[in-house]
A and B are shown apart, each in its own frame.
Chain A
Amino acid sequence: MTKTKAKILVVDDDVQHVDTVKTLLESVGYSVDYAYLPEKAIEKAKAGPPDLILLDVMFAGPPGPDGVEASRRIHADPALQKVPVIILSGVRKVLDLPFRLQPDDEWMPVKAFLEKPIKPDKLLSEIQKALGK
């Protein structure tokens, strides 16, 4: 925290969830930006690269890129290539295709695949791990 606060982009279509996560992260000293839609998230990421993206997978609303697709597009930008991603989703990762990602998957920027509901301890420790601290 001595340096500039790490900036985390929270992407989720659940307003309450975004609010809760934002409150928690800010209370432990992160700077939080958020988007309710993947398109918006891509936009925001390109506008100002975050230190980490906390990404949901499935989004309600009009058809558009899902979380995985959004992540691909973000990382397609060379400036954003190294931004770590943590997926935090209601999806049961072990069961719901096509998110059966294996640990040796090529998709390296995804540092963790977390399931909702998640407890603050776990979430915070995963974020710290992903930020390389």
Chain B
Amino acid sequence: MKLQTKINIGIIVVFLILGISAAFMTFKWQNDHAIKAAENRVRLYIRAGWQIYNAKIDRIQATLKVLAEDRRLQRVLIDEGNGELMDEVLRELQAIRSDQNMDILNVLDISGRVILRTRHPESRFDRTADDPMLRKVRDEKKACGGTVLLEERRLQAEGADLVELCRRYGGEAVGMMTAAAVPVRRGGRVIGMIQMGNLLNGSVEKVDHIRNSLFENEQYGGKPVGTATVFVRDLRISTNVLREDGTRAIGTRASEEVAERVLRRGLSWTGRALVVNAWYLSQYDPIRDPDGQVIGMLYIGSLEKRYLDQRSRAVFLNLAVVFGGMILAMAVFYLIMRTILSPIRRLHLATRRLSKGDLEHRIQVRSQDEIGELSESFNQMAQQLLEDQQEIQQSHNQLERRNEELRITNRNYMEMLGFVSHELKSPLGSAVLGVYSIKDGYLGPVSDTQQRILTSVAQSLDYLDEMVKHYLDLSRLEKGELKVNRRMIKLNQEIVVPSLQGLMPSLEDKQMRIENRVPNDVLLCCDPHLMRIVFENLLSNAIKYGRNEGTIRIESGNGKSAGTDTGQTVLSVMNEGDGIPPDKLNLLFQKFSRIDHPKHAWKKGTGLGLFICREIIEQHGGRISGESEEGKWTRFTLSLPTLGTTS
């Protein structure tokens, strides 16, 4: 895997983890925050709702305070029997109630007895002792505003139509009234009370006012954004919550959970509530009468879906920002990594070119950082390599030249050796013939002393002859002039027998016995002249180092082992004698090798014979080896491919 891929994957993983945790945290925060914010909002809404609710009451109270100053009203309370005045005041009050759009406007004496009832003038003089508001005004002698419940009997007294109204909007004949009552004074003394109020049952004016003030009657997804409701106990009597059919949900009831907390324990309830058919973040506050008794509830709700959608939008936006940022960061990171890695890639390519032998290639160093240093080092290394290579090439060339010089020198030397040896042959020829003619008595009798000296001279000449032959052979070998011209020969007839004939005098000299065990049918494909040189070399060695009166055994055969023809022809020459130490055997085949054998110290040799043999045999594709048992015998064996080739 490439470094860049690894880093990219690593970074993607890191960013993914970061992104996911950021998204999760945002989501969580949004969630908590949004709900809390929504609940706070609802609290604010209901506070505003209450202000609107109470403002109405305050207005009623203000109106009543003005009325209480009216002289004629005061006189009505003092002079109950004045029917004319009573009618006049009643008409005025009726006008006021109608103008103020109020349901009731009553004048009461100090005991709470109704003196004037503007809505239902015929019903008079009933007591309203159970009205906590009036009780409070009478007891405390000051104005009181608030909400009171009107039981059926009272409703009946106020007007039968009101009973019916309450029944129509909720089914129960219980009215809830926002009202105020003020004491009427005359000369500092409280002489009666006036009370004015408005039934909430079926009235939408107040709740709609609240809703319109707070939510401007906004709709969201076909549902009102905000709703307000007034409950008598748990019964909706005034609301702008709508049913499925679009009518107001008057007459339905609040949930048990809400009723328990608000009505029975007198606490506010805040939370999400399923209001008729949609979820609202809502608050229910208890409505208390002047005695502090919980008589109903004020509810304000804000459509949850809007908050949820807002929250979703916020979360989505947040996620978009987080992931967008992440992608951007990744892109930037990728570009940065590319910038950082591109010199590494160039370094890599340069290394590859270097390894393919392009030592001239250099990297452009663009940065001052570690990679820049690495590139610098690379260039230095390449330079060093180039210089080293040039140096090696120089040394190599030098060596080559030296080698060539040596080859030429060697060749010259060999040519000279060959030339000198050749030139030696003629004088040597007449010397040998002359010395032997005398020594062998062809030219007259020879004395013993003369004979001894002549024998010695003859031996020296023989050695000289051998030397000349070997040097000539060596010279030819070294010059590469030896070419193998193969033909099929009979080994015994063409090599062994003629060579033996040539060496017969020396054999007789040492009184040696020859055992030629070479069968007549052994064939070999070889160069007969070269093979003759080899065999004569082996044979003359055997004579030279063999002991007097010893046996020389020549054996041969077409190699067969375990019944299969090896394709090799073997020829061996064995002589009895002192033998050769085993560790010296292999040295024999080296050029100019001589073995320091104390017993043979007097025997001269060129040290070339076996080297020449090996060269010739190897050119035939064969092998030559020696074996020996010290003090007993020595044997040299040739092994050659019978048909001339190894295959």
Residues of B whose CB lies within 8 Å of any CB of A are 422, 425-434, 436-437, 440, 442-444, 461, 465, 469, 472-473, 476, 505, 529-530, 532-533
If A95-B476, A123-B433 touch, whether A90 touches B440 (CB-CB below 8 Å) is no
A94 contacts which chain B residues (CB < 8 A)?
529-530, 532-533
Chain A residues closer than 8 Å to B422, beta-carbon distance: 90
The answer on a CB contact under 8 Å between A121 and B440 is yes
CB distance from B120 to the nearest CB of A (A): 167
Q: Is the CB of B437 within 8 A of A20?
A: yes
Q: Which residues of A contact B (CB under 8 A)?
A: 14, 16-17, 19-21, 23-24, 27-28, 90, 92, 94-95, 100, 116-123
Contacts of B428 in A (CB 8 A): 116-117
A95 touches B529 (CB 8 A): yes
Q: A20-B437, A94-B530 are in contact. List 18 more A-B contacts (CB 8 A).
A: A14-B430, A16-B427, A23-B443, A24-B442, A90-B426, A92-B472, A94-B529, A95-B476, A100-B529, A116-B426, A117-B461, A118-B429, A119-B432, A119-B505, A120-B436, A120-B440, A121-B436, A121-B505
A129 to chain B, nearest CB (A): 12
Of the candidates B442, B469, B472, B532, the one having the most CB atoms from chain A within 10 angstroms of its own CB is: B442
Report 30 cross-chain contacts, Cβ distance below 8 Å, ordered by A residue. Answer: A14-B427, A17-B429, A17-B433, A19-B430, A21-B430, A23-B437, A23-B443, A24-B433, A24-B437, A24-B443, A27-B437, A27-B444, A28-B442, A90-B425, A90-B426, A92-B469, A94-B533, A95-B472, A95-B473, A116-B429, A116-B433, A117-B425, A117-B432, A117-B433, A118-B429, A118-B432, A118-B433, A121-B436, A121-B440, A121-B505
Contact (Cβ within 8 A) B430 A20: yes
Q: How far is the CB of B456 from chain A (nearest CB, A)?
A: 16
Q: How far, in angstroms, from A117 to B431 measured CA to CA in the complex?
A: 8
Residues of B contacting A118 in the complex (Cβ-Cβ under 8 angstroms): 429, 432-433
Specify the chain A residue showing the minimal Cβ separation from B528: A94
Query: Nearest B residue to A14 by beta-carbon distance?
Result: B426
Report how many A-B pairs have Cβ atoms within 8 Å: 76
CB distance from B151 to the nearest CB of A (A): 158
Shortest A22–chain B CB gap in Å is 11
Assembly CA distance A131 to B367 (angstroms): 103
Q: Please give me the 5 A-B residue pairs with the lowest Cβ-Cβ distance, nearest first.
A: A116-B429, A117-B432, A94-B529, A90-B425, A17-B430
- Determine the chain B residues whose CB is within 8 A of the CB of A117 once the complex forms: 425, 428-429, 431-433, 461, 465
Q: Given the complex, which residues of B lie within 8 Å of A16, measured CB to CB?
A: 427, 430
Nearest Cβ on chain A to B125's Cβ, whole angstroms: 175
CB-based contact A120/B437 at 8 Å = yes
Complex Cα spacing A123 to B137, Å: 182
Docked complex Cα distance between A20 and B436 (Å)? 11
Closest CB in chain B relative to A14 CB, distance in Å: 5
Minimal beta-carbon separation of A2 from chain B (angstroms): 21
* Closest residue on chain A to residue B427 by CB atoms: A16
User: Contacts of A120 on B, CB cut-off 8 Å?
Assistant: 433, 436-437, 440, 442
Complex CA gap A62/B505 in Å reads 39
With a cutoff of 8 Å between Cβ atoms, the chain B residues found around residue A24 in the complex are 433, 437, 442-443
| Bound-complex Cα distance A24 to B533 (A) | 30
- Which A residues lie within 8 Å of B530 (CB)? 94
Distance from B465 Cβ to chain A, minimum over Cβ atoms (Å): 5
Of the candidates A20, A27, A119, the one having the most CB atoms from chain B within 10 angstroms of its own CB is A119
Q: Which single residue of chain A is at the shortest CB-CB distance from B461?
A: A117
Q: How far is the CA of A21 from the CA of B422 in the complex (A)?
A: 20
CB A100 to nearest CB in B, in angstroms, measures: 7
CB pair B443–A119 under 8 Å, yes or no, is no
CA distance A7 to B427 in the complex (A): 25
Among residues of A, the one whose C-beta sits closest to the C-beta of B531 is: A94
Q: Kindly list chain B residues whose C-beta atoms are within 8 Å of the C-beta of A21.
A: 430, 433
On whether A119 and B425 interact (CB within 8 A), knowing A23-B443, A92-B472, the answer reads: no
Distance of B411 from chain A, by nearest CB (Å): 18
User: Within the complex, which residue of B429, B433, B436 is in contact with A90, where a contact is CB–CB below 8 Å?
Assistant: B429
Asked if B442 contacts A116 (CB within 8 A), the reply is no
A27 touches B429 (CB 8 A): no
Q: How far is the CB of A121 from chain B (nearest CB, A)?
A: 7
Of B427, B434, B443, B533, which is in contact with the most chain A CB atoms at under 10 Å from its CB? B434
A89 smallest CB distance to B (angstroms) = 9
Tell me the bound Cα distance from A119 to B509 in angstroms: 14
- Chain B nearest CB from A63 CB (Å) reads 19
CA distance A14 to B529 in the complex (A): 27
Q: Which residue on B lies nearest to A92, using beta carbons?
A: B472
Query: Hey, which chain A residues are within 8 Å of B533, CB to CB?
Result: 94-95
- B-side contacts of A100, CB under 8 Å: 529
Tell me if B436 and A119 are in contact (CB < 8 A): yes
Q: In the complex, which residue of chain A has the Cβ closest to the Cβ of B434?
A: A20
> B437 touching A116 by the CB < 8 A rule?
no
Question: B499 to chain A: closest CB distance in Å?
Answer: 11
* In the complex, chain B residues whose CB is within 8 Å of the CB of A14: 426-427, 429-430
A118 to B505, CA, bound (A): 12
Most chain B CB neighbours (cut-off 10 Å) among A19, A94, A118, A120 = A120
- Inter-chain CA distance A119–B442, complex, in Å, is 11
CA distance A23 to B431 in the complex (A): 13
